[in-house]
Amino acid sequence: MREAAFVKYNKVKWQSMEKKLHATVISDVDELKSLYLDITEDLSYAQTYYPKSSTTQYLNDLAAKAHQKVYRAKPASKNKIINFYKYEFPLMFSQYHLQLLLAFSIFIFFSIIGAYSAAVDDSFVRLILGDAYVNMTLENIKEGDPMKVYKDANQIDMFLGITVNNIRVGLMAFTLGILAGLGTFFIAMQNAVMLGSFQYFFADKGLLWESARTIWIHGTIEISVIIICTCAGFVIGKSMLMPGTYTRMKAFLKGVKDALKIVMSTIPFFIIAGFLEGFVTRLTGMPDIVAIMIIGLSLALILFYYVIYPIQLKKQKNATKLSGV
């Protein structure tokens, strides 16, 4: 884009920011913050394509003033965590739904591969899940309590252990994105194959429904956030392989920063999944309708927060821009 066209396209937005910076009282911190994020994106673009122009200098000064105003305007400091989860993260995440779809597709594909492999090779489940777990579960099935494994451990110990382990898996999926996304791909493949073979193991014993209604009480959120952490790893990988209009280093740093925000967003959900596994999944005698409600609400929560809500925020932001804000 020519510099003159770039200026013309964004002029109204910049003037709006100037007016807000000169205002004595800030009426809407979130709106100011949204404009600030837009200005920093414009600055990055200008630094790439017009590094020595007066436009770049103007945007640099405007961004510096806006930064001071935005981060001095807090009460926001005490609301920073709320603002992150309510506004900053979902709006940022709306640009990464393609990576989320890729992570989800890989997980579905290798879960099917895991189930198929277990179906055609009797030794595959033992190879993936381990002899100890398979033997223990077969014994539990003989005793008439196939889900007994969820009842044996102390609730608090199980909650803490599961939560920490799930966060560890999520962090690995995120961190290994630095291998151009290949490490993340391996973690996703490994966990998906395990899930597929695990579910087939119970289906083969005629326990598909009983296992699904029990396991997915916590597994709906647990697996979903592992997929989201996989998305974070792919964000890093894409930033390395396809920097776009940024320099490769700037693209990488932006990718890491955004991916870290994605991982941070999953921590409350990992805690919820750990709580469900430690305290609720063990209640295998609950009515089917209760289990279905928990699974359905869990899925709805994930879909709303990571798919629907970010799209809504993005539409609101675009509508605000078009109205001349």
pLDDT for 214 beyond 90: yes
Which one is predicted more confidently, 70 or 168?
168
Q: Considering the domain boundaries, does residue 219 fall inside one?
A: yes
pLDDT for 77 beyond 70: no
266-284 mean pLDDT: 94
Q: Is the pTM of this model over 0.85?
A: no
Q: Considering the domain boundaries, does residue 319 fall inside one?
A: no
Closest CA to 112 of 187, 211, 209, 193: 193
Question: Do 110 and 61 share a structural domain?
Answer: no
pLDDT for 325 beyond 50: no
Q: Percent of the chain scored above 90 by pLDDT?
A: 62
Which residue in this structure is represented by tokens 């770049």?
A: 56
Specify the DSSP class assigned to residue 25.
Answer: S
Question: Do 157 and 99 share a structural domain?
Answer: yes
Q: Considering the domain boundaries, does residue 88 fall inside one?
A: no
pLDDT at 134: 95
221-226 mean pLDDT: 97
Q: Percent of the chain scored above 70 by pLDDT?
A: 93
Q: Considering the domain boundaries, does residue 29 fall inside one?
A: yes
pLDDT at 181: 95
Cβ proximity of 80 and 32 under 8 Å: no
Segment among 8-12, 170-174, 229-233 with least mean pLDDT = 8-12
Six-digit token pair at 159? Answer: 């909650």
Q: Considering the domain boundaries, does residue 298 fall inside one?
A: yes
Range of the domain at 183: 95-310
What mean pLDDT value characterizes the chain?
89
pLDDT at 320: 63
Segment among 44-53, 139-148, 253-262, 315-324 with least mean pLDDT = 315-324
Query: What's the rounded Cα separation, in Å, for the pair 197 and 124?
Result: 8
pLDDT for 29 beyond 80: no
Question: Do 102 and 35 share a structural domain?
Answer: no
Render 143-168 in DSSP notation, one character per residue.
TT-TTTHHHHS-HHHHHHHHHHHHHH
Query: What's the rounded Cα separation, in Å, for the pair 15 and 64?
Result: 15
pLDDT at 28: 63
Question: Do 192 and 72 share a structural domain?
Answer: no
Segment among 6-20, 97-111, 154-168, 174-188 with least mean pLDDT = 6-20
Query: What's the rounded Cα separation, in Å, for the pair 173 and 234?
Result: 9
Q: In Å, how far from its chain's centre is CA 29? A: 25
Q: 299: Cβ–Cβ under 8 A, 6 or more apart, which residues? A: 220, 224
Question: Do 113 and 64 share a structural domain?
Answer: no
Question: Do 109 and 53 share a structural domain?
Answer: no
In this structure, which amino acid lies at residue 144?
G
Domain boundary among the residues 29, 47, 78 is at 78
272-289 mean pLDDT: 93
What's the count of helices (H) and strands (E) in the chain, helices before strands?
Answer: 15, 0
Question: Do 150 and 14 share a structural domain?
Answer: no
Query: What's the rounded Cα separation, in Å, for the pair 258 and 63?
Result: 19
